[in-house]
């Protein structure tokens, strides 16, 4: 990428991306002066204001927690030059899209990478290696801008999954937000001295994300309330059925269904896909690829290469 | 230990113990001829029948899955010499105690160690390093036998937690069996192509134990039905409350409660405890130690040393 990229927000996610791209001298910005100092001390170029970072950038990547998003996107909208490509890295996509302002070309993004840690100190340039990175393709999305971003994302080793913000939010409610609710509930049900001393591997893994900062989990779930409500209701229904199956001593089908699904994840049986970037129906083809759980691995001028789960 | 120890069942747990004790030439046994061959090929002494293994042993350790327990404990009861010390390593303690037969001194046991893997090939002599190992102390338990076992278990680096089978079963319902139900439910709620491709760390950890063989999870939960029913009802209640909190945009206290508990686990703030093995009230003192989540780290003739969470 010969373009100028500004990364706003240098926590775990933005900091990791800065560390990955920073060798090319791309500037960063963070609202926290200590974080700015830490990033400068680590050798990166850091602007002192949002406007300073955004003014020079062709591509602005917003990597702040959801509560900071409204204020920051308003600032970006004021400072951005017309046509500036703007993306974000937040875990919900519908609510972020509604906040975008100014003369920008916006593409919602979400790298499926992260840990329960946070902050620039935890940033890791390898965080996105092989990770799936959602780039939202809505009816109004500028396709050329989407392809530019997809080229950047695949160039750092991530896999670009094209989908809509609505489909994204429904899926992450199930695979990310619901696990946070389950982990917090499990931790509380086990709040007893003997249980806490006996707790080992299944408790450790089942509650890991309960270690996420509560304000982040809360903001994430609040931003995806409707989809999460559905996913939670399904989980409660499954658990209620499991209780009934336990009563009639017929729990094995419940565990077998989980076992079969977990044993075949992550999806390993995939087939290659090639798309023509000049196709008149490219938008539809990309969304169809994402709908099957497929992704792009390389985005060139001549062709788009990817893989999808074998049907 | 100069005593002769027989380990019956050479899967992950029994095989790991054999590998840990095997250098001392302790014999093993497994119902599966291929597992016996694998253990012999790895250099261990392996008997061809239960009776052969049990006949010579002062201590018999039963490490088979729950479904195999009734038949095996009946066989052990027939072959054991009077006074033989018998323990098991199963994940529920009440139902196993009811199956014990013959002239044995029984002490129910449960090392809190394991993975979603199974089989002798996965056995690891370091599996129990630092692990909590429950040894049940009931009114009818032979205290001398309990102390002998506690000495063996602490000698291989595990921590002995004294409790009753009833308290154990209530606790593991919360920290082990409930996580298996949550993991299986989560895996099923996320059964959708896009969700499966987006799933990353929080899904991976939250569903790890869904990879346990379904017949093992089923047997484990079946054996602890009553306690698990209670724990499951509490979890469903917590999740229902979380849904209501989400509706009224007040989810942070729910996540904060989970965060505070998870951040203070595993329990790190402990204080030393010394018990006198000749105390007339030793049984009560040991159970009080376990009730606070405390454990023994060394069992000598002169004193019992341990630690407990600081109040």
Nearest to A293 among B189, B197, B309 (CB): B197
Nearest to A290 among B167, B194, B249 (CB): B194
Query: What residue spans of chain A are helical by DSSP H?
Result: 12-21, 33-41, 50-55, 69-79, 94-99, 143-155, 165-172, 178-189, 193-198, 201-206, 214-222, 225-247, 252-263, 282-291
Chain B residue numbers touching A268 (CB-CB < 8 A): none
Residue B2 reports pLDDT greater than 60: no
Assign A193 a pLDDT band (cuts: 50, 70, 90). very high
The 10s digit of each residue's pLDDT in B129-167 is 999 999 999 999 999 999 999 999 999 999 999 999 999
Nearest to A215 among B174, B231, B252 (CB): B252
- Residue A199 vs residues A182, A203, B172, B288: alpha-carbon distances, Å: 16, 6, 8, 19
Assign A116 a pLDDT band (cuts: 50, 70, 90). low
Q: CB–CB of A140/A146 below 8 Å?
A: no
User: Does residue A86 have a cis peptide bond before it, meaning omega lies within 30 degrees of 0?
Assistant: no
Measured distance CA(B80)–CA(B89) in Å, rounded: 18
Q: To which H or E segment does residue B152 belong? A: helix B143-155
Residue of A nearest to B236 (CA): A236
Strand partners, A66: none
Assign A228 a pLDDT band (cuts: 50, 70, 90). very high
User: How is residue B121 annotated by DSSP?
Assistant: G
Question: Three-state DSSP class for A307?
Answer: strand
Nearest to A261 among B180, B188, B222 (CB): B188
Question: Which pTM does this prediction carry?
Answer: 0.90
**Angle, alpha carbons A171-A260-A244 (nearest 5°):** 85
- Give pLDDT, residue A307: 98
Contact A214 B256 (CB under 8 A): yes
Q: Best of B16, B130, B185, B222 to disrupt the A interface by mutation (most A CBs within 10 Å)?
A: B185
Q: CB–CB of A35/A64 below 8 Å?
A: no
The 10s digit of each residue's pLDDT in A230-285 is 999 999 999 999 999 999 999 999 999 999 999 999 999 999 999 999 999 999 99
Residue of A nearest to B309 (CA): A193
Strand partners, A86: A60, A106
Range in A291-295, B11-15, B111-115, B130-134 with the lowest mean pLDDT: B111-115
Mean pLDDT value of segment A212-228: 94
Asked if B186 reaches chain A (Cβ–Cβ under 8 Å), the answer is yes
Question: Three-state DSSP class for B261?
Answer: helix
Using alpha carbons, select from A173, A185, A133, A193 the residue that is nearest to residue A157: A133
Residue B294 reports pLDDT greater than 70: yes
Contact B186 A182 (CB under 8 A): yes
Contact B262 A211 (CB under 8 A): yes
Assign B22 a pLDDT band (cuts: 50, 70, 90). confident
Asked if A37 reaches chain B (Cβ–Cβ under 8 Å), the answer is no
Asked if B180 reaches chain A (Cβ–Cβ under 8 Å), the answer is yes
- Give pLDDT, residue A2: 46
Contact B208 A205 (CB under 8 A): yes
Range in B8-22, B81-95, B107-121 with the lowest mean pLDDT: B107-121
Measured distance CA(A179)–CA(A205) in Å, rounded: 11
- Give pLDDT, residue B116: 65
Q: Best of A131, A170, A189, A263 to disrupt the B interface by mutation (most B CBs within 10 Å)?
A: A189
Assign B176 a pLDDT band (cuts: 50, 70, 90). very high
Mean pLDDT value of segment B25-45: 93
Tokens of A214: 């509560």
Q: Please state, as a whole number, how many other Cβ atoms lie within 10 Å of the Cβ of residue A53.
A: 26
Asked if B93 reaches chain A (Cβ–Cβ under 8 Å), the answer is no
Mean pLDDT value of segment A142-154: 97
Asked if B175 reaches chain A (Cβ–Cβ under 8 Å), the answer is yes
Kindly tell me the number of DSSP H helices and DSSP E strands found in chain B: 14, 11
Contact B233 A243 (CB under 8 A): yes
User: Of all residues in chain B, what percent carry a pLDDT higher than 90?
Assistant: 91
Contact A203 B176 (CB under 8 A): yes
Mean pLDDT value of segment A16-31: 88
Residue A179 reports pLDDT greater than 80: yes
Contact A189 B234 (CB under 8 A): yes
Chain B residue numbers touching A288 (CB-CB < 8 A): none
Nearest to A202 among B176, B214, B235 (CB): B176
Chain A residue numbers touching B200 (CB-CB < 8 A): 112-114, 131-132, 175-176
Phi, psi values for residue B133, rounded to 5°: -125, 110
Residue B220 reports pLDDT greater than 90: yes
Contact B201 A115 (CB under 8 A): yes
User: Of all residues in chain A, what percent carry a pLDDT higher than 90?
Assistant: 91
Residue A1 reports pLDDT greater than 50: no
- Give pLDDT, residue B301: 84
Residue B286 reports pLDDT greater than 80: yes
Asked if B244 reaches chain A (Cβ–Cβ under 8 Å), the answer is no
Mean pLDDT value of segment A96-110: 97
Residue B25 reports pLDDT greater than 80: no
Tell how strand A85-88 and strand A105-107 pair up: parallel
What is the overall mean pLDDT for chain B? 95
Measured in angstroms, the CA of A294 and the nearest CA of chain B are apart by 7
Measured distance CA(B276)–CA(B285) in Å, rounded: 9
Mean pLDDT value of segment A11-37: 91
Measured distance CA(B192)–CA(A230) in Å, rounded: 14
Residue of A nearest to B260 (CA): A211
Contact B251 A179 (CB under 8 A): no
Phi, psi values for residue B279, rounded to 5°: -60, 140
Mean pLDDT value of segment B65-81: 96
ipTM metric: 0.93
Residue A175 reports pLDDT greater than 80: yes
Contact A198 B131 (CB under 8 A): no
Residue B44 reports pLDDT greater than 60: yes
Contact A188 B261 (CB under 8 A): yes
- Give pLDDT, residue B1: 45
Taking phi over 0 as left and psi of -120 to 50 as alpha, with beta for the rest, A119 belongs to left
What is the overall mean pLDDT for chain A? 95
User: Which residue in the block uniquely carries the two structure tokens 């970006």?
Assistant: A76
């Amino acid at each position: 990428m010969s373009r100028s990229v500004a990364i706003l927000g240098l926590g775990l996610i933005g900091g990791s991306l800065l560390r990955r791209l920073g060798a090319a001298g791309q500037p960063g910005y963070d609202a926290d002066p200590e974080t700015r100092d830490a990033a400068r001390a680590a050798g990166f170029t850091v602007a002192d204001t949002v406007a300073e970072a955004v003014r020079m950038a062709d591509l602005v990547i917003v990597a702040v927690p959801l509560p900071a998003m409204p204020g920051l996107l308003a600032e970006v909208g004021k400072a951005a030059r017309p046509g500036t490509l703007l993306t974000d890295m937040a875990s919900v996509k519908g609510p972020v899209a509604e906040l975008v302002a100014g003369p920008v070309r916006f593409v919602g993004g979400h790298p499926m990478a992260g840990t329960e840690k946070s902050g620039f100190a935890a940033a890791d340039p390898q965080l996105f290696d092989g990770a799936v990175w959602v780039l939202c393709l809505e009816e109004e999305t500028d396709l050329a801008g989407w392809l530019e971003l997809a080229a950047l994302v695949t160039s750092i080793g991530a896999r670009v999954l094209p989908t809509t913000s609505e489909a994204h939010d429904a899926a992450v409610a199930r695979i990310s937000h619901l696990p946070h609710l389950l982990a917090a509930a499990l931790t509380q049900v086990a709040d007893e001295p003997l249980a806490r001393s006996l707790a080992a591997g299944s408790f450790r893994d089942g509650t890991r994300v309960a270690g996420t900062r509560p304000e982040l989990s809360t903001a994430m779930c609040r931003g995806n309330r409707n989809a999460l409500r559905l996913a939670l209701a399904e989980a409660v229904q499954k658990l209620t059925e499991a209780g009934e199956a336990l009563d009639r001593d017929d729990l094995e089908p419940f565990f077998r269904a989980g076992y079969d699904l977990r044993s075949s994840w992550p999806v390993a049986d995939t087939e290659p896909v090639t798309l023509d970037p000049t196709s008149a129906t490219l938008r539809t083809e990309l969304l169809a690829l994402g709908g099957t759980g497929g992704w792009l691995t390389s985005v060139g001028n001549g062709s788009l290469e990817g893989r999808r789960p074998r049907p």
